[in-house]
C-alpha cells in the first residue's frame, strides 16, 4: 500500500530503536512516524507576537488605536496566513488510500 | 435596585426557549444507529464536518464567561487584559500539528478522552487516572463560571435576588440544559452553537461599528481610558504594558494557549470531527472568533468612556464586574437589541457548559468507572453512566454557585489553567515520543501540581484585600527554591503556569534519564506509528460506535 511505503522510508522513525518499542512492539510498530516538512517551521512565525517590546507603544495610532492594539489585531491575519500556507503546502503529502480509488463516499465512515 | 426590564427579558426568554427546543430535537439530527454508545452520545458519531466543527469548537472555546470577564479585566486593569488576543492567535499554529495526531490515534483506537490516549500509549492506568482527575477538577469550576456569566446577564435584566428564589431562573435554565444534554448528548450543543455564534457575531458587529462612533472614535475612547488609569494610584494598570508585566503578558498568553487543548472539552470538540482535513480547515478559520474576542475586550474601554458602573450583586453585596458589558448594552442600546445581546451571552453559556459536562462525564466513565469500578461494562452501560454523570456534574456546578461564593469558582478557574498545563508532558509530548518514562511523568506531575498550587497560594491581591490566590502573576523575586532566590530582587512578573510546567518537565526528564540508566521497563504501548496518520476513508479504519 501507498501508506506502507511511506512509513518504510520514514527517516524520522528514530524512536523505533528505543528498547521500549522493541519489547512492546506489535510487529507493525514503526515508532512514532513523525512526518516533517520544512513548511511546518512557518508555524513558529506567529509566536513573534509574544515579543511585547516591539509593539508596547502608543504611537503610531491607526484609526485612533494605539500601536499595542492594532499590531496585535494584525497578527490575526499573520496567524491565519501561516497556518493556511502550511495546510496548502503539505495537504497532498499523505493521501487517504481510498481517495485514489472511488473516493466518492469518503464522508460515510460510519457505514 | 431597578425593576425587571420586560422587553429584554421577553426577547431573552423567547430565544432561550427556541434553543431549548432545538436541544431536544438534536437527538435526531444526523443520528446514528444507536444512542447507547459514547461515540454517539459523547462525540456526536465522530462525523461532524467543517462547518459544524467550526461552530461547535468556536462555541466551546470562546465561552460566555470569556465574553464578560475579559472586558471586565480590561476595564479594571487595562492592557494586561488584552492577553486574550495573543493567546487565541498563537493557539492555532501551536496546536495545528499535535491535534491532528491526537485525532488520528483516537480515531484508530476508539479513544474518547485524552486520558484514554495516555492509557493506550503508556499502558499505565495510574497515569491515565491522574490525567482524568486533573481534567475533571480543571473543568468543574469552568462550568460553574458559565453560570457566573449567565447570572451577570440575568442580574442586568433586573433578576438580582439573593437566596434560592433569586437563583431560581438560573436553576431552571440549567435544568433544561441538563435534560436536553442527557437526551441528545454532544449533538445538542453542536446544533445550538449555530444560534449562539450567529447572535454573537451580529451583536458584536453592530456594537463595534456603532459604539466607537457614538463616543467620538477609538482615539477618544483610548484617551479617556488612559486618563482613568493615570488617575488611579496603581502603577500596574494603563492602556500599555508596564516594564514589570510584559513577561507576565507573554507567558500568560503562551501558557493559556498550551493549556487550552489539554482541557477535556477541547479534545471532545476535536475528536467529534470527521477527519484531519476538517480539523486543518478549522485551525485556519477559528481565529475569526479571536478577532471578535479582541473587539469584545475593547468594550472594556468603551465602558470606561460611557461611565458604566458594575451592578452590585445583592447576594454578596459586592459590585459584579462581569455585569459591565451587559450593562453597556443595557444603557447604550434599545431594550430589544440588549435582549438579543443578553440571549447571545446566555446561550453562549449553555454551549460550553454542555460540552464541558459531556467531557467530564466521558472522563469519569472511561477512565474511572470502566477502569476501576466496572471493568466489563458494555458500550450501553458506558453511555448510561456518562449520561448520569453529566447530570451530576451540572448540578454540582449549580450547587457551587448557590452555596459557595462565586469568587471561589474564579479562584478555582485560575488554578484550573495551571493544573491542566501539568498534563502537557503526558498528553502532548506523548503524541510525538514515548521517551519520557511513565513513572517520571507521574513524578513531574506531582512536582508541577504542588509547586503551582503553592505559588498561587503565595500571591496576594491587595486591591481586593486577599492574601492568597490573588492572581496568576508571580513576581520573580518571590520565587524561591528551598530558600534560594534564583532571580534576586527582580520585579518582573511571570505566569505561574509556565514556572510549574518548567519544574514538571525538568523532573520528568531527569528521572527518565535515571530510570533508563537503571533499565527499568515501561508499560506496553498499544499504539503504532501509522495510527498517528490515520484519516477518514482509510480502508482499515475502525468503525464508529463499535465495541
What ipTM was reported for this prediction? 0.87
Q: Which residues of A touch B434 (CB under 8 A)?
A: 15, 18, 20-21, 32
Whether the Cβ atoms of residue A50 and residue A37 lie closer than 8 Å to each other: no
How confident is the model over A31-55, as a mean pLDDT? 85
pLDDT band at A99 (very low <50, low <70, confident <90, very high): very low
pLDDT of residue A4: 39
In tens, the pLDDT along B44-102 reads 888 888 899 999 998 888 888 888 888 888 988 889 889 999 999 999 999 999 999 99
**Chain B residue with Cα closest to A25:** B525
Nearest to B218 among A49, A65, A106 (CB): A65
Q: Which residues of B touch A76 (CB under 8 A)?
A: 85, 89, 287, 290-291, 294
Of residues B108 and A77, which shows the higher confidence score? Answer: A77
Q: What is the DSSP string of B388-452?
A: HHHHHHHHHHHHHHHHS-HHHHHHHHHHHHHHHGGGHHHHTGGGT---S-HHHHHHHHHHHHHHH
pLDDT of residue A97: 42
Q: B542 CA to chain A: closest CA distance, Å?
A: 9
Helix axes B379-403, B406-420, angle to 10 degrees: 130
How confident is the model over B476-488, as a mean pLDDT? 74
Q: How far apart are CA B387 and CA B369, in angstroms?
A: 13
pLDDT of residue B96: 92
pLDDT for residue B131 is more than 90: yes
Nearest to A32 among B82, B521, B532 (CB): B532
- Mean pLDDT is lowest, of B47-56, B248-257, B374-383, for B374-383
Whether the Cβ atoms of residue B283 and residue B96 lie closer than 8 Å to each other: yes
- B190: burial class by Cβ within 10 Å (0-12, 13-18, 19+)? buried
pLDDT of residue A38: 85
Nearest to A30 among B220, B434, B529 (CB): B529
pLDDT band at A85 (very low <50, low <70, confident <90, very high): very high
HEC string for B477-500: HHCCECCECCCCCCCCEEEHHHHH
Neighbours of B526 (CB within 10 A): 15
- Mean pLDDT is lowest, of B67-81, B427-441, B477-491, for B477-491
How confident is the model over A58-86, as a mean pLDDT? 92
- B399: burial class by Cβ within 10 Å (0-12, 13-18, 19+)? exposed
pLDDT for residue B501 is more than 90: yes
In tens, the pLDDT along B132-163 reads 999 998 888 888 888 888 888 888 888 776 66
Of residues A83 and A107, which shows the higher confidence score? Answer: A83
In tens, the pLDDT along B262-302 reads 999 999 999 999 989 999 999 999 999 999 899 989 999 99
Nearest to B93 among A21, A43, A106 (CB): A43
Helix axes B64-77, B324-332, angle to 10 degrees: 90
Q: How far apart are CA B20 and CA B7, in angstroms?
A: 20
Q: How far apart are CA B286 and CA A76, in angstroms?
A: 10
Of residues B319 and B136, which shows the higher confidence score? Answer: B136
Nearest to A90 by CA among A40, A45, A41, A42: A40
- Mean pLDDT is lowest, of B205-214, B260-269, B502-511, for B205-214
Q: A79 CA to chain B: closest CA distance, Å?
A: 6
Whether the Cβ atoms of residue B419 and residue B455 lie closer than 8 Å to each other: no
pLDDT of residue B77: 85
Task: Tell me the percentage of chain B whose pLDDT exceeds 70.
Answer: 96
Give chain A's mean pLDDT.
65
Of residues B447 and B157, which shows the higher confidence score? Answer: B447
The three grid cell numbers given for residue B131, joined into one nine-digit string: 490525567
Nearest to A72 among B86, B96, B537 (CB): B86
- B451: burial class by Cβ within 10 Å (0-12, 13-18, 19+)? buried
pLDDT band at A31 (very low <50, low <70, confident <90, very high): low
pLDDT of residue A93: 60
Q: How far apart are CA B390 and CA A75, in angstroms?
A: 38
Of residues B105 and B406, which shows the higher confidence score? Answer: B105
Of residues B109 and A108, which shows the higher confidence score? Answer: B109
Q: pTM of this prediction? A: 0.86
pLDDT of residue A29: 40
**Mutation choice for B interface testing from A26, A48, A69 by most B CBs within 10 A:** A69
Nearest to B477 by CA among B460, B493, B489: B489
Q: Which residues of A touch B32 (CB under 8 A)?
A: 110
pLDDT of residue B397: 82
Preceding omega of A60 cis (within 30 degrees of 0): yes
Beta-carbon contacts of A109 under 8 Å, excluding residues fewer than 6 positions away, are B46, B47, B274, B275, B536, B537, B541, B544
pLDDT band at A104 (very low <50, low <70, confident <90, very high): very low
- Mean pLDDT is lowest, of A27-41, B477-491, B515-529, for A27-41
Q: Which residues of B touch A3 (CB under 8 A)?
A: 530, 533, 538
- Mean pLDDT is lowest, of B85-94, B171-180, B402-411, for B402-411
pLDDT for residue B437 is more than 80: yes
How confident is the model over B8-15, as a mean pLDDT? 87
Q: Which residues of B touch A46 (CB under 8 A)?
A: 89-90, 93
pLDDT for residue A7 is more than 70: no
pLDDT for residue B10 is more than 60: yes
Instruction: Please judge whether B90 and A79 are an interchain contact, meaning their C-beta atoms are less than 8 angstroms apart.
Output: yes
In degrees, to the nearest 5, what angle opens at C-alpha B302 toward C-alphas B64 and B71?
30
Q: How far apart are CA B356 and CA B162, in angstroms?
A: 27
Q: Which residues of A touch B243 (CB under 8 A)?
A: none
Give chain B's mean pLDDT.
86
pLDDT band at A32 (very low <50, low <70, confident <90, very high): low
Write out the H or E segment, with its range, that includes residue B453.
Answer: helix B438-458
In degrees, to the nearest 5, what angle opens at C-alpha A27 toward C-alphas A25 and A33?
70
How confident is the model over B200-221, as a mean pLDDT? 88
Neighbours of B396 (CB within 10 A): 14
Q: A36 CA to chain B: closest CA distance, Å?
A: 10
In whole angstroms, how far apart are CA A22 and each of A15, A30, B429? 10, 10, 20
Instruction: Please judge whether B47 and A30 are an interchain contact, meaning their C-beta atoms are less than 8 angstroms apart.
Output: no
**Chain B residue with Cα closest to A79:** B89
> Which ranges of B261-378 would DSSP assign to H, the alpha helix?
264-271, 276-285, 287-306, 324-332, 335-363
Instruction: Please judge whether A50 and B433 are an interchain contact, meaning their C-beta atoms are less than 8 angstroms apart.
Output: no
Q: Which residues of A touch B275 (CB under 8 A)?
A: 106, 109
Amino acid at each position: 500500500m501507498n501508506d506502507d511505503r511511506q512509513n518504510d522510508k520514514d527517516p524520522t522513525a528514530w524512536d523505533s530503536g528505543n528498547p521500549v518499542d522493541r519489547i512492546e512492539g506489535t510487529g507493525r510498530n514503526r515508532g512514532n512516524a513523525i512526518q516533517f516538512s520544512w513548511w511546518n517551521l512557518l508555524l513558529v512565525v506567529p509566536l513573534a507576537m509574544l515579543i511585547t517590546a516591539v509593539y508596547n507603544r502608543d504611537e503610531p495610532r491607526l484609526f485612533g488605536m494605539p500601536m499595542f492594539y492594532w499590531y496585535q489585531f494584525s497578527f490575526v491575519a499573520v496567524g491565519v496566513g501561516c497556518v493556511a500556507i502550511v495546510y496548502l503546502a503539505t495537504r497532498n503529502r499523505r493521501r487517504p488510500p481510498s481517495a485514489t480509488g472511488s473516493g466518492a463516499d469518503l464522508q460515510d465512515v460510519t457505514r | 435596585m431597578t425593576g425587571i426590564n420586560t422587553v429584554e427579558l421577553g426577547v431573552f426568554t423567547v430565544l432561550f426557549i427556541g434553543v431549548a427546543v432545538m436541544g431536544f430535537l438534536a437527538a435526531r439530527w444526523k443520528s446514528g444507529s444507536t444512542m447507547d454508545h459514547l461515540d454517539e452520545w459523547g462525540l456526536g458519531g465522530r462525523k461532524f464536518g467543517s462547518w459544524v466543527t467550526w461552530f461547535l469548537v468556536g462555541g466551546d472555546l470562546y465561552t460566555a464567561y470569556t465574553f464578560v470577564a475579559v472586558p471586565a479585566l480590561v476595564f479594571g486593569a487595562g492592557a494586561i487584559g488584552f492577553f486574550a488576543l495573543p493567546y487565541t492567535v498563537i493557539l492555532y499554529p501551536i496546536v495545528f500539528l499535535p491535534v491532528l495526531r491526537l485525532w488520528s490515534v483516537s480515531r484508530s483506537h476508539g479513544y474518547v478522552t485524552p486520558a484514554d490516549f495516555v492509557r493506550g500509549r503508556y499502558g499505565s492506568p495510574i497515569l491515565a487516572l491522574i490525567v482524568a482527575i486533573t481534567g475533571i477538577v480543571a473543568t468543574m469550576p469552568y462550568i460553574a463560571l458559565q453560570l457566573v456569566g449567565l447570572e451577570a446577564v440575568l442580574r442586568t435584566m433586573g433578576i438580582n435576588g439573593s437566596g434560592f428564589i433569586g437563583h431560581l431562573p438560573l436553576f431552571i435554565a440549567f435544568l433544561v440544559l441538563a435534560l436536553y444534554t442527557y437526551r441528545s448528548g454532544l449533538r445538542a450543543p453542536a446544533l445550538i452553537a449555530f444560534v449562539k455564534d450567529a447572535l454573537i457575531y451580529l451583536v458584536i458587529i453592530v456594537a463595534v461599528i456603532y459604539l466607537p462612533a457614538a463616543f467620538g472614535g477609538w482615539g477618544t475612547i483610548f484617551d479617556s481610558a488612559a486618563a482613568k488609569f493615570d488617575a488611579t494610584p496603581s502603577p500596574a494598570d494603563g492602556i500599555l504594558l508596564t516594564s514589570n508585566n510584559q513577561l507576565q503578558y507573554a507567558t500568560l498568553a503562551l501558557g493559556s494557549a498550551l493549556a487550552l487543548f489539554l482541557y477535556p472539552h477541547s479534545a471532545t470538540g476535536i475528536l467529534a470531527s470527521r477527519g484531519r482535513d476538517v480539523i486543518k480547515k478549522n485551525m485556519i478559520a477559528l481565529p475569526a472568533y479571536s478577532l471578535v474576542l479582541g473587539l469584545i475586550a475593547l468594550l472594556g474601554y468603551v465602558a470606561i468612556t460611557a461611565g458604566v458602573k458594575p451592578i452590585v450583586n445583592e447576594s454578596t453585596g459586592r459590585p459584579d464586574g462581569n455585569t459591565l458589558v451587559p450593562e453597556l448594552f443595557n444603557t447604550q442600546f434599545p431594550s430589544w437589541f440588549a435582549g438579543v445581546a443578553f440571549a447571545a451571552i446566555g446561550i453562549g453559556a449553555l454551549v460550553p457548559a454542555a460540552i464541558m459536562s459531556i467531557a467530564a462525564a466521558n472522563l469519569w466513565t472511561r477512565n474511572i468507572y470502566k477502569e476501576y469500578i466496572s471493568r466489563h461494562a458494555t458500550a450501553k452501560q458506558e453511555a448510561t453512566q456518562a449520561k448520569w454523570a453529566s447530570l451530576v456534574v451540572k448540578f454540582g456546578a449549580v450547587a457551587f454557585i448557590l452555596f459557595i461564593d462565586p469568587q471561589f469558582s474564579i479562584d478555582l478557574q485560575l488554578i484550573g489553567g495551571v493544573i491542566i498545563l501539568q498534563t502537557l508532558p503526558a498528553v502532548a509530548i506523548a503524541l510525538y515520543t514515548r521517551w519520557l518514562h511513565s513513572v517520571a511523568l507521574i513524578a513531574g506531575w506531582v512536582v508541577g501540581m504542588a509547586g503551582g498550587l503553592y505559588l498561587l497560594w503565595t500571591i496576594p491581591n491587595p486591591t481586593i484585600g486577599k492574601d492568597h490566590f490573588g492572581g496568576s502573576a508571580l513576581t520573580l523575586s518571590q520565587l524561591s527554591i528551598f530558600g534560594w532566590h534564583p532571580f534576586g530582587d527582580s520585579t518582573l512578573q511571570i505566569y505561574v503556569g509556565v514556572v510549574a510546567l518548567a519544574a514538571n518537565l525538568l523532573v520528568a526528564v531527569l528521572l527518565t534519564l535515571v530510570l533508563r540508566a537503571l533499565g527499568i521497563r515501561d508499560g506496553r504501548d498499544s499504539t503504532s506509528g501509522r495510527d498517528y496518520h490515520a484519516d477518514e476513508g482509510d480502508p482499515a479504519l475502525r468503525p464508529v460506535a463499535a465495541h
